[in-house]
Chain A
Amino acid sequence: MTPPPALSAVPTPEAAPAPGDSKINRDLLRVMEGASPGYFLLLGATVLVVTAAALTWIYQIYIGLGVAGYTHPVFWGVYIVTFVFWVGIAHAGTLISAILYLFRAKWRNAINRSAEAMTVMAVMTAGMFLGIHVGRIWKAYFILPYPNQRGLWVNFRSPLEWDTFAISTYATISIVFLYIGLIPDLAIARDRFAGWRRLLYTALALGWQGTSRQWKAHTRSVLHLSGLATPLVLSVHSVVSWDFAMSIVPGWHATIFAPYFVAGAIFSGFAMVLTVMIPVRRIFGLEEYITDYHFENMARFILLTSLIVGYAYVTEYFVAWYSGVEAEQTSFWLRAFGPYWFSTWTMIVCNVVFPQLFWFKRLRTHVPTLFVVSTFVNIGMWFERYVIIITGLSREYDPAVWGVYTPTWAELTILAGSFAFFAMLFLLFLKIFPVIAIAEVKELAIHDRAHGAHGAH
């Protein structure tokens, strides 16, 4: 994908911070030190919700999936919706780290670390939902192609099998990516902290000394990893979209699903980064490093992908009409005016209407607006998956078994749990690892000092 013009734009001097390294260290590592009661309050809250969700899951495993709102013919529900949602969230990370890295978009440096971290956490959350969804998790290992005495093999024709591979691959790459990027910062942290942290960072820093050889190896490995990761950004969500596109369900069986889902994923990914980073920046006073300039670029990205997504919505309806397939037409008609009209219109308003505000620079740079809009985008993107999955299933080929699905307390608890889980992991990450890539920020600072006002090559 080609980056929008804004990306190649020269960072404005005032945007590029140039304080001394030690200050950068201090500023950025301060985030990791000590913790306010507020922090613990927040963490405790998330842990509480996660526990509730975990208990619900255990109960569901014991008593049966009936606790969810499934009905004939809606066999997939909130769990799969949420799975797709989190896979989508996972995309901004790789995009920012890999693609923007390859495009040398320097504005990414301030946010790439948090984005990568979110990727890993989102993938973990998403992966869990596959387990929550299946009927017999105690047999779920059947899905792995391992040699067994039964002589049974898995079905490589099944999109769910592809999912298994796509998700695990993506998880591996993102974790490696995050870790490699962390190494120099871990070294800095190692030299700064004492006690158990020192031990931890010493172990993780792999004896990093910052020698030129190490730097060379480091940059090269990041470069190559970016190369490896780039196709994943496109592949993973394409594969996930095929779960639907490969089926014959009206409203699922569409050729545009892959690009449509990828765009949506990036869309929601950036939105999530904004939603998370805005409060973080505020709380830890990182305005100097994460500037409105960064936010604005992300806003531009959101605007772009919002347009793509909006275009996909239109295309879906057009194709449904143009196909002349009555089942498709009925399905889409009911999508807009049937029992699920609410979800559909929520999705359209949140994903297509609100982002249009970003045409105006004043709103793009107005942080509260950014926060509100990005939150709405997250809601909208969850509903997008809800609309696609639920309305598709509830109105299929045999009108005699049309049904209406409504989520139950169990599903909602676990849904809430997934957000809490994500938040919990991020809160822990904040305190244990540098949330901003110190080394890269320094690099940027040095670079800018060297080239004075003109940061371009």
Chain B
Amino acid sequence: MPEIDRRGFLKLAGASAGAAAAAGCSDHVEKLIPYVVQPEEVTPGVPVWYASTCRECPAGCGVLVKTRESRPIKLEGNPEHPINRGRLCAKGQASVERTYSPDRFHGPVRRNAAGELEPTTWDEAIAEVAAAIRANPARVRVLGGDPGDTASQLIDRFVAATGAGGRVVSIPFAREALRAATEQVFGVASEPIFDLSGADLVIDFGSELFESGLSPIEHQRQWAEARDVATHPDGGLRLVYVGSRLSLTASSSDEWLVAKPGSEGLLALALARAAIEAGAGGGAHAGLLSGPLANAGADAAARATDVPAEAIRRIGAALARARAAVALPPGHAVASRRAVGASAAVLLLNEVIGAVGSRVIVAAPEGAPRQRASYKDLLALIREMQDGQVDVLLVHHMNPVYSIPVSAGFADALAKVKLVVSFASAADETALRAHVVLPDHTALESWGDARPRPGVRSLVQPTLRPLYDTRAFGDALLDVGRAVSPEAAAQLPAGSFRTLLEANWTGTDFRAALKSGGVYQPASHAASGFAASKVEVAEPVFTGDGELTLLAVPHIFLWDGSGAALPVLQEIPDPVARVAWDSWAEVSLATADRLGVEMGDVLRLESSAGAIEVAVLPRGGIRDDVIAVPTGQGHVVGHFASKAGQGLVGVARGGNVFDLLPGDGVDESGGRAFLTERPRVSATGRHRRLPLLQWNDNKRERQLGEAMTLAALAGHGEAHAEHHGPHEMREPYDPAADAADLQYQETFHERGENSAKASPYRWGMSVDLDRCTGCSACIAACYVENNLPRVGEDETRLVRQMAWLRIDRWVGEGEPELKGGRVRAPRSREQLGDTDIRNAPLLCQHCGAAPCEPVCPVIATYHNEEGLNAMIYNRCIGTRYCANNCPYKVRRFNYWDHQLTKWPAPMELMLNPDVTVRGQGVMEKCTFCVQRIQAARQDAKNAGMLIPDGAVKTACQQACPSAVYTFGNLRDPDSQVSKASAAPQRGYHALHMLNTRPAVTYLAKVLRGKVEGSPS
């Protein structure tokens, strides 16, 4: 038990009512510390926004950084940015935590004689590195990921200037196969840009376009817009997913082809053939039938891919018919040793269906660092290191010790390097093996730029003074280079990295770019012709004699492991598996029975390369011959990434699936392959209770996540009823009933005179389930905006998370227990090929007749004139009756003093000062971001008007890539939310039977059914 502090003392003293009175008012001295020089754009209490770029993944979304008192507290999408258009995913939302991570280096460190890292000065550290380089420049190597455009160029100049032996760019999830395939068939070595806007048929060959895809936010937005039933009565875009596992993307698809992993290429060819046979391209591609498509007949393909020939023909026909179809290339998880062929095949399909040039744009490469990533080079470097040919290794923007398979031998080779220099800003596996660490600023502290795609240049600008004695990577590199030798110094650019950046942006209006976040031009299609003959598809090659094929699935939040250090990303459950703070192995129910394991039993996966142990998660939605393990966990360093307790270095959290992959697992182009293993799987006999947030996907026909067929939407009532069971669908927002509710509340809650005049506002929200993919960006935004504590693994296991907004994931309508008969341990109800998955975001419904309100003995929760279900923390005494009585279970209780335990310094700096940090023993819940409402109210008052529609955006609404949420004033008939809530037929209130009169109206998901081959 920690030593008793003031708060603690008051708590104890408070136990006696007398002292309790004193507990309210505290008399300890608070200091007011003003600026020495106050920046003129800063007014204390008023946020300042800076345009910048998210550096969490290659997509390169534009962000607006919200700073208060020159401290960034939240990231939001930059509306001007062409890629994300104002939206931001969970990774981006969470990235603000990097700057305030307790794992950060406070200054340069070096390894002393005793072998421990000890603080040093920049001059000494740089001198040491420079000396080592000077000794033998030829034996110097630079290894790293994507440092940004200018920084990357600087590295090249550094290498040239110092005569360093070479530079290797390596990114775990680089799309080398796609690049190689593009080069083969188009002669242009760059990643094509896939544009889904206006598409009516999209086939995803496992690119996982909503999670680890080419540009998740952009594609999610385009997908949602292209299938909005309000504007597309026919249901608009159809998404066909090809894969062996019901992933997040599959859950949102209209048809799921359960193909054998690695057979995507064959299927693509078969579909191309079927499309041509159905008349695609009007005979233009007839030549292909004798060429690469010669033996891609539907029946043969069906045998090879497990996809029924009927489906192949049907979808082929649909492709031929489609107005604007696109096929997306295989993603990382299915990147086999034959990945280039598969990607080429998908490009061929795009060529056949006429997508190339319009929706598949192959632009000339602009030398973005990401495009230079090469696993081949990395392996070569490792070999050099092993042979002792490398004296100095500079590692930047990368954690190779974690992300490169152990069997590649990087970690051992590292021991042969005389001086390892890391530029990591926070401690990770590699940095702790380095001899010298020259800590970089975080993205929020530094200058930089990015080329997410041809045509788009995006700026990174600092939003706070560096918290610690760190130095921008570019500047550190310059300093090292200049210290190496005068000649080197002469060859290096003068000035700081900042000046170099600006120089690099000459020709653009730098000031304007700072405001808008960058310069954006559309990319133009640079490729001509299509070398179909180069397309060679072959069956994937596997190593290992296990029955199960290993699928290393890129985790939607943790990505290549970089996300694991951010507590928010650890805290939010995986949208599909519902597991947080741990890794798991997905197998089918049948496989689980065969292995004799149940949920949480620990499996041992043993491949030629290595072995890991993870808890099993049996699912219905996965092929029997596949075992899927998410990437990203298995760190041993970091407060949150590892099971470190309070320390920095701990034991691995979950397992690192990379360890199972062979170092030499490469595709035809030498790119990194992930689908290579058939590990031996055995039960260890041990059991671990998974931190599982939802173990029951059966909504037993309760009105929680509704769906309706297109037919029903078109108004065929019987289909509608038959799909929805007995309960009626909706109760439209009724101002009269609403006023009555408020009056009712009024009579019990004494107010000031002002309550006489009715408020012009009734805040409400609509949630469109048809747009929700479950990506959880909203949850991350809520965490950051509202200072929600990240409770950690143990508390998560007790289901004590503090999320104000959660997403329930339902499989179909479900059936009641009694129909189901005898109660058994709940099992996944997913089925292969079934994509009727409902993601139902659940937040406080701000009910007109809220069950939680009458039961609170102290009126800590009540209904205000504006229809908000208020929760007054400082009045709450913690009887928890409201939470019992809330049918939606959206109220959360502070079992501990999270603000003391869950915010290791300096994380408290990122707290939103406009939101009270809740103390121990009080209830809390979604407030509809009341702090934003109040801010908007003040602005409106100052302008002498009512709050205009759209002036208040809740955090979840602001973040959502597919615009699921609409928030606004229900009293205003013209407001977006009023219109949305009145959507014909689709609207309903959650658990309508309870007559709680929610302010949140849900719009049912629309089941579009399988793709139709022939016009109906």
Contact = CB atoms under 8 A, between A and B. Distances in A.
Contacts of B851: 247-248
B627 interface: no
B808 interface: yes
B858 A142 contact: yes
Interface in B1-28: 1, 4, 8, 10-15, 17, 19-21, 23
B801 A72 contact: yes
Contacts of B181: none
Nearest to A58: B12
A298 B694 CA distance: 49
B876 A135 contact: yes
A275 to B, nearest CB: 31
Interface residues of B, number: 74
A145 B818 CA distance: 46
Interface stretch (A159-167, A202-210, A439-447): A159-167
Contact of A136 (B857, B878, B887, B889): B878
Contacts of B875: 142, 152
Nearest to A326: B816
Contact of A134 (B11, B21, B856, B878): B878
A337 B881 contact: no
B859 A154 contact: yes
B885 A247 contact: yes
A66 B798 CA distance: 10
B545 interface: no
B932 interface: no
Task: Classify the secondary structure of B's interface with A.
Answer: loop
Given A330-B700, A393-B884, A143 B857 contact: yes
A154 B857 contact: yes
A335 to B, nearest CB: 11
B501 to A, nearest CB: 48
Interface string B688-705: 000000111011111010
Contacts of A63: 1, 896
Nearest to A144: B17
Contacts of B858: 142-143, 152, 154-155
A70 B20 contact: no
B857 A70 contact: no
Interface in A116-147: 133-143
Contacts of B808: 398, 400
Contact of B994 (A76, A140, A397): A397
B549 interface: no
Nearest to A247: B885
B888 A398 contact: yes
A297 interface: no
B855 A139 contact: no
A52 interface: no
A329 B823 CA distance: 13
Given A61-B11, A158-B881, A398-B991, 11 more contacts: A66-B800, A66-B896, A73-B889, A133-B879, A136-B876, A139-B23, A140-B17, A155-B859, A158-B857, A330-B817, A337-B823
Contacts of B695: 402
Nearest to A164: B857
A396 interface: yes
B693 to A, nearest CB: 8
Interface of B: 1, 4, 8, 10-15, 17, 19-21, 23, 694-696, 698-702, 704, 748, 750, 795, 798-801, 806, 808-810, 814, 816-818, 822-823, 842, 851, 854-859, 875-881, 883-885, 887-889, 892-897, 920-923, 991, 993-994
Contacts of B19: 138
A415 to B, nearest CB: 18
B800 A71 contact: yes
B12 A399 contact: no
11 contacts: A71-B798, A75-B881, A135-B922, A136-B14, A140-B20, A153-B859, A158-B857, A243-B881, A330-B817, A401-B799, A401-B889
A247 B921 contact: no
Contact of B991 (A72, A139, A249, A397): A397
A66 B10 contact: no
Nearest to A408: B798
Residue of B799, B801, B816, B884 most packed against chain A (CB within 10 A): B884
A327 interface: yes
A141 B878 contact: no
A334 interface: yes
A164 B923 CA distance: 21
A102 B819 CA distance: 53
A259 interface: no
Given A63-B1, A136-B920, A157-B854, A399 B822 contact: no
Nearest to B883: A75
Contact of B857 (A59, A65, A138, A161): A161
B855 A134 contact: no
Nearest to B9: A62
A3 interface: no
Contacts of A248: 851, 885, 887, 994
A64 interface: yes
Given A71-B798, A398-B888, A160 B702 contact: no
B892 A72 contact: yes
A333 B799 CA distance: 24
A69 B797 CA distance: 12
Residue of B701, B856, B921 most packed against chain A (CB within 10 A): B921
B877 to A, nearest CB: 5
B12 A61 contact: yes
B896 A64 contact: yes
A135 B920 contact: yes
Given A158-B857, A399-B700, A138 B994 contact: no
Given A61-B15, A138-B15, A330-B817, A247 B879 contact: no
A64 B818 CA distance: 39
Contact of A73 (B20, B750, B883): B883
A329 B816 contact: yes
A455 interface: no
Contacts of A137: 14-15, 20, 877
A276 interface: no
A398 B842 contact: yes
Residue of A69, A143, A158 most packed against chain B (CB within 10 A): A158
A159 B854 CA distance: 9
A62 B818 contact: no
Contacts of A223: none
Contacts of B810: 400
Residue of A157, A329, A400 most packed against chain B (CB within 10 A): A400
Given A62-B8, A72-B799, A248-B887, A136 B1 contact: no
A400 B855 contact: no
Interface string A383-398: 0000000000100111
A333 B821 CA distance: 10
Contact of B885 (A249, A327, A338): A249
Contacts of A164: 857
A329 B816 CA distance: 9
A249 B884 contact: yes
B25 to A, nearest CB: 12
A338 B15 CA distance: 38
A254 interface: no
Nearest to A400: B808
A46 B564 CA distance: 51
A133 B859 CA distance: 18
Contacts of A160: 855, 857, 879, 881
B353 to A, nearest CB: 40
A401 B578 CA distance: 12
Given A75-B884, A397-B888, A401-B694, A334 B12 contact: no
A75 B880 contact: yes
Interface string A43-79: 0000000000000001101111110011111011000
Contact of A397 (B702, B801, B814, B892): B702
A396 B889 contact: yes
A155 B745 CA distance: 12
B76 to A, nearest CB: 28
Nearest to B897: A64
